[in-house]
Amino acid sequence: MFQEAIEKVLQFTRPLHSISRTYSGLVLPGSSTFFFVNDNGVAVTCKHVVDMIQNADPINNSYNSFKTERQKLVNDNKYKRNLQGLEMKYHYNADSTVQLKHSFLNSFDRIDAFTCHTHPYLDLAIIEFKGFTKTFYNSHAVFAKDSSNIKQGSSLCRIGFPFPEFNNFRHNPAIDDIEWTQTGNPNSPSFPIDGIVTRFVGDQNGNGISGIEMSTPGLRGQSGGPLFDSNGIVYGMQFATNHLHLGFDMKDVDMIVNGKRQKVSNNPFLHVGICVHAEKIKAFLREKNVGFTEL
């Protein structure tokens, strides 16, 4: 049903790859999604994705300052205590994120800078990329001109880049920094998930509908990905998943599991994806004087 639509949408939908390092030294890959709305290098994604991007510099600058101070510590019998004091100053524990870097994949030949616009209350943001001379995306989103035909039970699909498989990164101990490499797998596969419209989300300021609830979850990494119909027309953007308690709870129920009797407990939830409505995306693009296409 969505085969051709997915091919269309992937022409303008791209992954954002992230790598982070904890103070204990664990390097973790992560991903999210953004999609282009015109041929001028302008994309939309979630506000929480943009917040993560903008947090990278403060996180990295703080760790660089920490390293500078750590190098000045005298390696004597007071070193351990002084290091602990320095860790307290910077609020570092084993799980603290101390380094964070991002890569916008398959989008441009170069990026000199970008400007972000975040919506005042919706999980929605616009990114205007600058300094490129060539684009590597082949099309742009076409938004529904009339979204009133989407009703409960309508089938729609989302796509993004969960389950990151890229491994083209490393920790460089010589400079104590994480970095992208020219070796390894630089890509992660796209992952679509369809569902039906279950409910609509009202705008918190009383201005109509702000969101579309889907019967299936939006997956981690699909945040910022488009919601589209079988023709590839965009009706929204995935941003969150709610967890609805079903009430079919079981506690210490006797069951046979793998040939053995045991007590089983379960608290089931229904995981439903929430998407920013296309009308809100278009209104924000108009507010920021960003061109887009409707059909």
Q: How does pLDDT run across 200-221, given as a tens digit for each residue?
A: 999 988 889 999 999 999 999 9
Instruction: Give the tens place of pLDDT for each residue, 82-133.
Output: 999 999 999 999 999 999 999 999 999 999 999 999 999 999 999 999 999 9
Phi-psi bin for 91: left (phi > 0), alpha (psi -120 to 50), beta? left
Q: For residue 256, give Cα distances in angstroms to 76, 261, 262, 264.
A: 61, 4, 6, 9
Which amino acid is it at 211?
G
**Is the model's pLDDT at 44 over the cut of 90?**
yes
**Is the model's pLDDT at 158 over the cut of 90?**
yes
pLDDT in the model for residue 257: 84
DSSP states of 253-281: EEEEETTEEEEEEE--EEEEEEEEEHHHH
Does the global pTM surpass 0.85?
yes
pLDDT in the model for residue 206: 87
pLDDT in the model for residue 128: 98
Looking at per-residue pLDDT, the higher value among 123 and 257 belongs to 123
Structural domains in the chain, CATH included, are 3-294 (2.40.10.120)
Contacts of 200 (CB under 8 A, 6+ apart): 209, 211, 212, 213, 277
DSSP alpha helices (H): ranges in 46-119? Answer: 47-71, 79-89
Closest listed residue to residue 293, CA positions, set 41, 108, 36:
36
pLDDT in the model for residue 207: 87
**Is the model's pLDDT at 267 over the cut of 90?**
yes
Q: For residue 2, give Cα distances in angstroms to 12, 141, 143, 289.
A: 16, 16, 17, 31
Q: For residue 153, give Cα distances in angstroms to 12, 76, 124, 272.
A: 27, 69, 25, 14
pLDDT in the model for residue 68: 96
